[in-house]
A and B are shown apart, each in its own frame.
Chain A
Amino acid sequence: MAVVPMKKITITGMISQRSTILDVLQRLETLHIEDIPGAEDASAVFSTGKTEENQQRLTNCKKDIESLSRALEILDSYAPVKTSMLAGFAGRDRLSVSDFSEKEKKNADTLKAAEDILELEKELITVKAAVPKYENERASLGPWLNFKVPLTFKGTGCTAAFIGSFPELITEENLTKELVGETGIEAVNVDVISSADDLTCLMVVCHKDDASSFDEALRKMNFSRAPQIDDLPLKKDEELVKAIEKAYKDTDSIRVKIASYSDRREDLKFTIDSLSLEYERLSADEQILRSRRTFIVDGYVPSSQVERTEKALEPYDVVIEVQDPTAKDNVPVLLKNNSFAAPVEGVVESYSLPSNGEMDPSMPVAIFYYFMFGMMLSDFAYGLIMTVATGAILAKFKNMEAGMRKTMKMFCYCGIGTMVSGILFGSYFGDAVTVASRMFFDKDVVIKPLYVDPISNSMKVLVFSFAIGIIHLFTGLILNLWQACKQKRYADAIYDSLFWLFLVGGLLLFGLTTDMVINMFPGALTKIPDPLGQVGKVLAIIGAVGILFTGGRESKNWVKRLMKGAYALYNVTGYLSDILSYSRLLALGLATSVISTVFNSMGEMVSAGLLHTNIFGALIGVILFLVIFVIGHGLNFAINALGAYVHANRLQFVEFFGKFYNGGGRKFEPLAVKTKYFKFKED
């Protein structure tokens, strides 16, 4: 359990070798680059790389990555690759450095391919968008189909023709009458071409000289002109049908064209990675101070990696200066733990990394986390499933990414914790063993819990949960004590940890000698001998007096100090609620086992009657039982594993960390190979 010690490092080198050196450092993944504060203003010689040119390169790089990613997305949607559900665990492929630089030569070509894919997709969208337009046109042409004149027909030498429609049902006679009434001219002919309840298409022919009066009359009557089509409606319609067919054909052929790029998929992935590396390098380059001939990189390297870093930079003309960080430096934090505690580093990190000088709480968290998770899920079979499933995934995917591996390992250990508590409290898919043996073999088999049955004896388990909680809280207080001693803050160690241990511990001891407390938990507690209670009383008084006088020690004024001390003493109620909070260990554990029991007895109710009918009925009975069993336990497992995970976190974050851990550290983020699809093989 440790925070990895860091060294401050300054690398000075020739500017001509800058990008090669950055390349080497990136592959080493050991250097966390830091801005040198104020260096640029203080010096006339050095400047950072934040130039317009560099900015431009960064933007271009990002744009290229985006279009490549988009191209890959398009390719994946038109030429999908089958991936197994477990593919996410597989991790990145490995490439040697020489293969990598060989492949990088193809980048320009791959970028071109990506552009092509994007272009094709654009074309596809245009073609696709045309179809509804054609369909609309066809729909508006529908009523005119048997009209044998082009719709733009304006009339002959002596006549004028108006082709159009009214949004209502209207007959030739009525319209003629109305038109004559409106214009006073009788020489008019109306031909209805098609009519429906809400649309009448027609042609009005009149003498050319009367055209304007008819035009006006028609406009007044809500006449709207027909679509302006030069061709015969029927012919136009055929053209549209053909155009639609062609559009569909084109879409297909473009799809095929896009899919034909599927052999470039790996290239696309590679180029995305290669450009991402460049992007990382460029943004690191920005931070680096440079003069006309030299550059300076400032940063942190883990102490254990200093030698490796120096060795890798040996071939170049650089000066490396290594220093111990001072207390003022905000050193980035990297955690390193053994394989038991490392999996919960993620849990610690999701709270906050230790700040300067603070301890890494991973180890104590790991011990309690696995056990508490187990108590809240509390079923041997569920634990076994978790352990076997995560174990199998871990064994199968050797190449899994580090973060995923940690999570899997964490759940593997949590599974073991669950098995342990399943044995302690006698739960194997709830009471499935009892139910199944009763149903199928007419026997009464009960697997006895190693410790106690939580359903019939919940008081005992409640006290057990509180005991775990008290141990958890005291571990936190003791760690606080230890941490203060290590930082040579002995007074704080006594005032903030020891007094509280005395007070809470003493009160607990004293409580165990009183009838009131014993009777509160019938059958679960035994009275301890009185002398111990007296010891507890004395300890509690020492603690209380101590806190009263030191709780407000930052105030010089004695009255104020005592008032603050009294307020600090009031905090003892906080310990009560902290301890009560651990009752969730019992409650969530009970939830799992009781719901298991519900599903088991549901299965029994449904199928028990069928079993004793005939062979056919028995078969259906067994199948029904299995279906209810699988669905029920699947559901129960999912919901309770979620609960156990959330509340195991909460107990660490709120109750445990509240006693000794603040966090607030910065993560160690080295210049690294942050790729998505490939990573470097160690040469």
Chain B
Amino acid sequence: MGIGTALAVAGAACAALFAGIGSAIGVGRGGQAAAGVVTDDPNKFSQVLILQLLPGTQGIYGLLIAFIALSRMGIMSGTPAELSVGTGLMYLFACAPMAFVGLVSAMQQAKASVASIGLVAKRPDQFGKSMIFPAMVETYAILALLVSILAINGIPA
């Protein structure tokens, strides 16, 4: 196997790696805030759980990109294609939006989530609105996901 394939796998790994790290940090922060609220009022569990989980999607998008990339380069089926350095770099760059935007947006989304958890703690009736603030951040993760998908699909086999 040449450098090209290695670069492509590195790209797929980065998408899962950074987006996953971001989500892990994000969901962790959300969990701390959520646990605090539940000590005070156990009935809010389901509401704060949803808010905690919101920064978790980036990790899934990362997994998605990694999977699409790996299966396109034949790693999943056990018949990896020999890729040129150029094609390998294409995979690496195609995965980059998801990796970096995933990492940063999950951490930033966690901040919005924590604030929203605070909002729900004080005003449980505002749950509908509290969900929207973290969801606004997620838009950019979704856009990055889209660019990565389109880019990977566009790489000539």
Contact = CB atoms under 8 A, between A and B. Distances in A.
5 contacts: A351-B128, A584-B139, A597-B67, A601-B76, A649-B128
A347 B57 CA distance: 22
A655 to B, nearest CB: 11
Contacts of A584: 139, 142
A595 interface: yes
A482 B61 CA distance: 40
B60 A591 contact: yes
Interface stretch (A140-148, A160-168, A494-502, A640-648): A640-648
B107 interface: no
B136 A594 contact: no
A180 interface: no
B106 interface: no
B131 A646 contact: yes
A643 B64 contact: no
A45 interface: no
A643 B57 contact: yes
A639 B52 CA distance: 12
A43 B56 CA distance: 61
Nearest to B70: A598
A642 B150 contact: no
Contact of A646 (B50, B143, B149, B153): B50
Given A595-B64, A601-B76, A587 B142 contact: yes
A639 B57 contact: yes
Interface string B134-157: 011011001101100110010000
Given A595-B64, A649-B128, A587 B135 contact: no
B57 A653 contact: no
A406 B142 CA distance: 30
A649 B51 CA distance: 14
A79 B57 CA distance: 42
A350 B128 contact: yes
A590 interface: yes
A598 B143 contact: no
Contacts of A581: 139
A586 interface: yes
A598 B63 contact: yes
B133 to A, nearest CB: 10
Contacts of A583: 142-143, 146
Contacts of A347: 128
B113 to A, nearest CB: 11
B142 A646 contact: no
A595 B53 contact: no
A650 B64 contact: no
Contacts of B50: 642, 646
Nearest to A351: B128
A349 B127 CA distance: 11
B68 interface: yes
Nearest to B125: A350
Contact of B64 (A580, A591, A646): A591
B126 to A, nearest CB: 8
A459 interface: yes
Contacts of A649: 128, 131-132, 135
A587 B146 CA distance: 6
Report which residue of A587, A588, A590 has the largest number of chain B beta carbons within 10 angstroms of its beta carbon. Answer: A587
